[in-house]
Amino acid sequence: MVVDDVTAIRSIDDAEPQWREIEVELGPGADPSILDSVEELLVAEGITRSPSPSKVHRVLGDLIPAPRHLRGTAGYLRDYLAHERQTLLMSDIAVRRDAPDAVHTMRKAARRIRSALQTYADDFASTPHSSRNCAGSEDV
């Protein structure tokens, strides 16, 4: 366990966000359930996980413009693709950890993304849609 006081300096507005972070990592061969026990102890002391996905996001997150609101099909498609992208990213981690069923979950997410993009390609393309796939060969 490491406790670190962090100060970041943003050159764009000279802001200096500060926070304290606690990092807990397992050593080789350690039982992952230990992390749950450590988290319970930290939560009991009023320490919670950061809502920020990364240090960079914590420092620069308020400078990132919010996604534009999309109505109708475009909004639904963006939300669907964002969900499947997150599933793909999380399953990538699971595959690297050799988790059961991780490869299947990853392949499912990839197929769903591909299917959604193929299905709605003509509706959102700024140029006429070609019937070529990513490899450049004709779809059959």
| Domain count of the fold of the chain | 2
The verdict on 6 and 57 lying in the same domain is yes
Domain end point (choices 63, 86, 110): 63
The verdict on 7 and 54 lying in the same domain is yes
pLDDT of residue 125: 60
pLDDT of residue 134: 47
pLDDT, averaged in runs of 10, over the chain (140 residues):
89 88 88 90 91 84 80 88 94 92 95 94 62 46
Phi-psi bin for 98: left (phi > 0), alpha (psi -120 to 50), beta? left
pTM: 0.49
Instruction: Note down the domain range covering 56.
Output: 2-63
**Domain assignment present for 129:** no
pLDDT of residue 136: 47
pLDDT of residue 139: 44
The verdict on 57 and 81 lying in the same domain is no
DSSP 80-127: HHHHHHHHHHHHHHHHHTT-TTHHHHHHHHHHHHHHHHHHHHHHH-SS
CA distance 47 to 14: 28
**Domain assignment present for 18:** yes
Query: If DSSP codes are grouped into helix, strand and coil, which group holds residue 23?
Result: strand
pLDDT of residue 86: 94
| CA angle, 29 then 30 then 34, to 5° | 160
The verdict on 59 and 76 lying in the same domain is no
The verdict on 37 and 79 lying in the same domain is no
